């Protein structure tokens, strides 16, 4: 194994460890919401510092590889992808922390009927699954699994598009939970963005293993149809 191979192995290991941390952040955030566990929400907030530290480490790893080895072909793609994935994961970490912060803003437990009617728990579960599957796709070099992420983003979009109407119904039916209903809507807006970040992750995975650029592909196709 060359020195470059060793450094690339370290880079990939750091990226996977960061990814696992972000997956755990989302899972803990969902439990904090479901169980109104303020201590767990605080833990998610505190762990955001670790996510940020990981992004800086991944960036440093990439800078060192660029400076010392000038990688080409698949090695170069891994470094480029690592930079972008690290940024996407950091943003998802921010989202997880923001949702946890909304839990801390609540004065009382969230009415389970509101969580069910708004479908926020379904949204959370899909978002968690997308990030976890993206990690598996990267680790197992499975671009087929990566491609399944694009369709699942539509589930988050559909739930988010109906969020306002459902929240207004909750405010009407549970006026004592009006504040919590608004907090749920804020969480849903955040979780919808996890889908966008997950699509970015899937695109980078496909670029790394297949050398195919998917970004802006749909936009160009639409422009060609006009």
pLDDT at 216 exceeding the cut of 70 = no
Per-residue pLDDT, 218? 54
Residue 225 resides in a domain = no
Per-residue pLDDT, 226? 41
Residue 203 resides in a domain = yes
Residue 21 resides in a domain = yes
Tell me the mean pLDDT in the region 163-178: 96
Tens digits of residue pLDDT in 20-72: 999 999 999 999 999 999 999 999 999 999 999 999 999 999 999 999 998 89
Residue 195 resides in a domain = yes
Per-residue pLDDT, 211? 86
Number of domains in the chain: 1
- Confidence category of residue 213, pLDDT binned at 50, 70, 90: confident
Distance between CA atoms of 194 and 215, rounded to whole angstroms? 17
pLDDT at 214 exceeding the cut of 90 = no
Per-residue pLDDT, 215? 66
pLDDT at 220 exceeding the cut of 80 = no
Percent of the chain with pLDDT over 70: 94
More confident residue, 176 or 222: 176
Residue 107 resides in a domain = yes
pLDDT at 225 exceeding the cut of 90 = no
Q: Write down the residue that tokens 């891994």 correspond to.
A: 78
Residue 220 resides in a domain = no
Tens digits of residue pLDDT in 79-92: 999 999 999 999 99
Per-residue pLDDT, 217? 58
Residue 15: exposure state from Cβ atoms within 10 A (0-12, 13-18, ≥19):
buried
Q: Is 31 in contact with 128 (CB distance < 8 Å)?
A: no
Residue 219 resides in a domain = no
Distance between CA atoms of 224 and 58, rounded to whole angstroms? 38
User: Domain with 15 in it: what CATH number?
Assistant: 1.20.58.220
Residue 188 resides in a domain = yes
Structure tokens at 204: 């980078």
Distance between CA atoms of 78 and 14, rounded to whole angstroms? 13
Tell me the mean pLDDT in the region 100-108: 95
- Domain with 150 in it: 3-212
For 189, how many CA atoms within 13 A lie in the half-sphere containing its CB?
10
Tens digits of residue pLDDT in 118-168: 999 999 999 999 999 999 999 999 999 999 999 999 999 999 999 999 999
More confident residue, 212 or 6: 6
């Amino acid at each position: 194994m060359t020195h470059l191979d060793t450094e690339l192995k370290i880079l990939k290991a750091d990226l996977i460890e960061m990814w696992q941390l972000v997956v755990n952040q989302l899972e803990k955030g969902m439990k904090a919401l479901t169980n109104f566990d303020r201590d767990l929400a605080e833990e998610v907030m505190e762990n955001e510092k670790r996510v940020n530290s990981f992004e800086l480490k991944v960036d440093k790893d990439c800078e060192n590889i660029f400076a010392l080895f000038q990688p080409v072909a698949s090695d170069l793609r891994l470094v480029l992808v690592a930079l972008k994935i690290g940024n996407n994961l950091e943003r998802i970490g921010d989202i997880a922390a923001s949702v946890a912060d909304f839990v801390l803003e609540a004065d009382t437990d969230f009415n389970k009927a509101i969580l069910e009617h708004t479908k926020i728990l379904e949204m959370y579960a899909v978002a968690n699954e997308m990030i976890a599957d993206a990690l598996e796709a990267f680790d197992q070099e499975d671009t087929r699994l990566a491609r399944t992420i694009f369709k699942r983003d539509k589930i988050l979009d559909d739930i988010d598009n109906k969020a306002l109407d459902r929240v207004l119904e909750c405010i009407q039916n549970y006026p004592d939970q009006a504040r919590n209903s608004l907090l749920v809507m804020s969480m849903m807006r955040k979780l919808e963005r996890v889908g966008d970040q997950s699509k970015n992750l899937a695109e980078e995975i496909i670029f790394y293993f297949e050398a195919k650029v998917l970004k802006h592909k749909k936009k160009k196709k639409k422009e060609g149809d006009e």
